[in-house]
A and B are shown apart, each in its own frame.
Chain A
Amino acid sequence: MGEVILQMKLIDKSFPGVHALDHVDFSLKRGEVHALMGENGAGKSTLMKVLTGIYTKDSGSIIFEGKEVEFHNTHHAQEAGIVIVHQELNMIGDLTVAQNIFIGREFKKGFMIDDRKMIEESKKLFNELHIDIDPRARMSDLTVGKQQMCEIAKAISHKAKVIIFDEPSAALTEKEIEDLFAIIRDLRKQNLGIIYISHRMDEIKVITDRVTVMRDGSYVGTLITNDCTKEDIINMMVGRVIYEEPKTHSMVPKDAPVVLKVEHLNAGKMVQDVSFELRKGEILGFSGLMGAGRTETARALFGADPKQGGSIYINGEKVTINSPEDAVRHGIGYLSEDRKRFGIVVQKTITENSTLAALENYMAGLFINKSAEKDVTVRYIRELDTKTPGPEQLVVNLSGGNQQKVVIAKWLVRNCDILIFDEPTRGIDVGAKNEIYKLMNRLASEGKSIIMISSEMTEILRMSDRIIVMCEGRKTGEIAIEEATQEAIMDKATRDIK
């Protein structure tokens, strides 16, 4: 390891309602691979976005190669030598590998693009990295792993001094990960500084030199990888402080009937052989890290995405769910994690949103019974304590918490017995959060059954009667609330060496 190439000091960044980064420190040396870890929402990505100029910091300083810098966009950062390799690949499938690598800075011969030179240069790059890819191949013909290699080659071709890998291994196979590590080791030898963001504990142990842990937008500490254990890192990630009292025992009666049974559900790569049961009046927590397949499981169950196999039983009866229409007919309601895209029609009124799933119950012959519709909307505004001047308010004008209540009202108007809450408190402030929690508890005590997907450990521990943990598309654990601890969940949510 060489001298420090990059230093971020007391970086502070706030968004409306969220203190995303609270005076965070981070330093990177030449020739080291430095892991950046933390739960979802800990601030890792925000920190990297501040570094590469996507966000502007509120205060603090970035010192790169001894000079204070401030980048205004990724292009600017790239020119200085800081490059990010994103989790989602930014490649154009119909262009060749070489065309992708040199996109935006093509070699020219007069007015013409000099394809031959781009191919030669790509070959040189690949040789340096010991990658075996034909630069003339079409990008979409390559595997995800190979595409990732191209992304890295592109990064290197920018004369990068610092490369940030944002969960590079999420979509790779074992073999591809090995190849990736070989490249990273190579880059380390060439004295580049590498920041490696990953949730995979085993990878951190294999490839990194140091680990910096963040939690809730704050810097927690930095460890030398060889001197610490997985447990050390997990302890730093979850912290020992629990802000809210966790549930101590399940509220579900012992003899509560099973209302929903899912067996061997398969849908794409992200849902592999998932089975579980949900009982009447239960809040079943789904925990796991980003990309664990929880939302995908919910969407497949709800019929929003196609599934490849599996059986679903509702109240003991086998049902076929091929579309959200089927799911709603069987009494399932789904609150999406992305409220604005999948939950509400923002340009429409609270009334129109509230009855969207149950309009047939508010018809008088051919016409919509607008007064009945208004009555039920007003009733749920009152019951859920939605803050609005009236039922005719456009949903776009409501706050996040109140929008969420409108979505909940939609499913209550439909009288759904099984509710899937996907990240119910995302983007909602603390006060509204508590209200949503209270509401969920009330619904459960009234006999509704709830599946709650959450990335917040405290939320999972506070709300769930039972917890299912997922990791990489599989169910990796089922924990009764009495035995649940943050450490136990995190252990099952992170991948282990086989």
Chain B
Amino acid sequence: MKSFKNNPIVKKLGFNRIILFCILLLMYGVFSILIPGFAGMARIMSIFNYVYFLGFLALGVTFVIATGGIDFSIGPVMFCCALMAGYSMNTYGAPVIVSILMSIAIGLCFGTFNGYLVAFVGVPPFIVSMATMNIAKGLGSVFTQTQSVSWPQGNDPSGKGWFRGLVKIGDIPTGLILFAVAVVILFFVMNNTKAGRYILCLGSNKEAVRLSGVNVRKWQMLAYVICGTMAGIAAIFFVSAYTTVQPGLGDTYNNEAIASCVMGGTSMAGGLASIGGTVIGVFVISLLQEGIMAMRMTKEVQMIITGLIVIVFVYADVSARRRKS
């Protein structure tokens, strides 16, 4: 076991991530055996649908958690983006491309707002994101007069349904390609750019980074901006897969995104983050959701399980740190 852990390839990939990946495969196997008809392309496509939007949320929040912060507003922000952009399209006749850009812009605004309050004003991230969560829910409801918003179907006669090609063209899961591109970009941002370096270092010891002459506020804020923008992008993938968005919801996805991060090895204490780990975590959560639905259990069961996952993995992280120090 020890020699396996010290193998250079294993070290590069991360022992915990390999284990998590094995868990993912094992879960798929178990579900396939327990649930008749679970194995097969249809399920996998359905899992992918969930992976896309949850993936963008989780990738974004990975940056915030890396700074030692937290963002509980991403789920509702995603819904708020989808609601406002969709409502603008349906009611005011905005072109699809404008709506898509609008969704991303709204996410960016929320992220900037959160980041400014945390980094420059000094409000604790927990409080800021709790408040923003409610603002996003409220804003989405007010803007749409508390009506659900449906984005055009793929076969919509107006031709507005083209954006669904972002997710799927025929049987080709194009969304997977876009997601993979985003993963690669964000992997490099986290590991090979100044932004990622400073975000990780300030998450570990903000004061030491500040005393090295780095403008820590700017970089801390950037993490929230990335996170908000990702929520705006996630909104597009959400409506591409599921069409209808209801106001006042979205908070369950916070926990699922955060669970994906902590499973993947991103530390809630900040300073340590793994983009690859987050991706595997997203697949685990998406598979879990699909399996639970297939077993005819409710979404609430899944909420219990994701809640427990967060606790277990945070405990594992905390106790690992304690052992080290």
Contacts and interface: CB of A to CB of B under 8 A. Distances in A.
Interface residues of A, number: 31
B272 interface: yes
A170 interface: no
A345 B207 CA distance: 9
A304 B211 CA distance: 7
Given A352-B197, A352-B201, A359-B194, A341 B213 contact: no
Interface of A: 302, 304, 323-325, 327-329, 334, 336, 341-348, 352, 356-357, 359-360, 363, 366-368, 370, 396, 410, 414
Interface of B: 188, 192-194, 197-198, 200-201, 204-205, 207-215, 271-272, 324-325
A325 B194 contact: no
A242 B197 CA distance: 46
Nearest to B202: A345
B270 to A, nearest CB: 9
Nearest to A411: B212
B205 A344 contact: yes
18 contacts: A302-B211, A325-B214, A327-B213, A334-B211, A341-B205, A342-B207, A344-B205, A344-B208, A345-B201, A345-B209, A347-B205, A347-B272, A352-B201, A356-B212, A357-B212, A359-B197, A360-B194, A368-B197
Contact of B204 (A304, A336, A347, A363): A347
Contact of B213 (A324, A345, A346): A324
Given A352-B197, A363-B194, A396-B324, A341 B212 contact: no
Given A363-B194, A368-B197, A348 B215 contact: no
A410 B214 CA distance: 13
B109 to A, nearest CB: 24
A348 B211 CA distance: 16
Contact of B211 (A342, A346, A352, A367): A342
B213 A348 contact: no
A414 B325 CA distance: 30
Given A348-B271, A367-B188, A368-B192, A342 B204 contact: no
Contact of A345 (B204, B215, B325): B204
A396 B208 CA distance: 14
A323 B207 CA distance: 12
Contact of A328 (B192, B198, B213, B324): B213
A168 B70 CA distance: 42
A343 B192 CA distance: 23
A198 B74 CA distance: 55
A329 B213 CA distance: 8
Contacts of B209: 345, 356
| Listed residue (A357, A360, A414) with the most chain B CB atoms within 10 angstroms of its CB | A357
Nearest to A365: B193
A183 B201 CA distance: 50
A343 B210 contact: no
A367 B208 contact: no
Contacts of A348: 200-201, 204, 271
A343 B194 CA distance: 19
Nearest to B269: A347
Given A345-B205, A352-B201, A367-B188, A324 B194 contact: no
A396 B207 CA distance: 17
B192 A341 contact: no
Contacts of A324: 210-214
B208 A341 contact: yes
A463 to B, nearest CB: 23
Contact of B214 (A336, A344, A356): A356
| Listed residue (A325, A329, A347) with the most chain B CB atoms within 10 angstroms of its CB | A347
Contacts of B188: 367
Nearest to B206: A345
A328 B194 contact: no
Given A345-B204, A367-B188, 7 more contacts: A324-B210, A327-B213, A341-B207, A344-B208, A347-B271, A357-B213, A368-B193
B213 A367 contact: no
Contact of B212 (A328, A346, A370): A328
| Listed residue (B210, B211, B215) with the most chain A CB atoms within 10 angstroms of its CB | B211
Which 5 A-B pairs have CB atoms at the shortest separation, nearest pair first?
A: A328-B213, A357-B212, A356-B212, A345-B205, A367-B192
Given A344-B205, A359-B197, A336 B192 contact: no
Contacts of B208: 341-345, 356
Contacts of A347: 204-205, 271-272
A328 B212 CA distance: 7
A410 B192 contact: no
Contacts of A368: 192-194, 197
A357 B194 CA distance: 11
Contacts of B213: 324-325, 327-329, 357, 414
Nearest to B210: A324
A357 B198 CA distance: 10
A356 B200 CA distance: 11
A352 B191 CA distance: 11
B78 to A, nearest CB: 27
Given A352-B201, A368-B194, A345 B271 contact: yes
A323 B216 CA distance: 11
A343 B210 CA distance: 10
Contacts of A360: 194
A352 B271 CA distance: 12
A348 B204 CA distance: 8
A329 B214 CA distance: 10
Nearest to A304: B211
Contacts of A414: 213
Contacts of A325: 213-215
A410 B205 CA distance: 15
A373 to B, nearest CB: 10
A424 to B, nearest CB: 15
Nearest to A397: B324
A344 B212 CA distance: 9
Contacts of B212: 324, 328, 356-357, 410
B90 to A, nearest CB: 39
| Listed residue (B194, B200, B271, B325) with the most chain A CB atoms within 10 angstroms of its CB | B194
A178 B43 CA distance: 82
Contacts of B324: 396
| Listed residue (A345, A360, A410) with the most chain B CB atoms within 10 angstroms of its CB | A345
A324 B207 CA distance: 11
A323 B217 CA distance: 12
Contacts of B271: 345, 347-348
Contacts of A323: 215
A79 B207 CA distance: 40
A315 B246 CA distance: 65
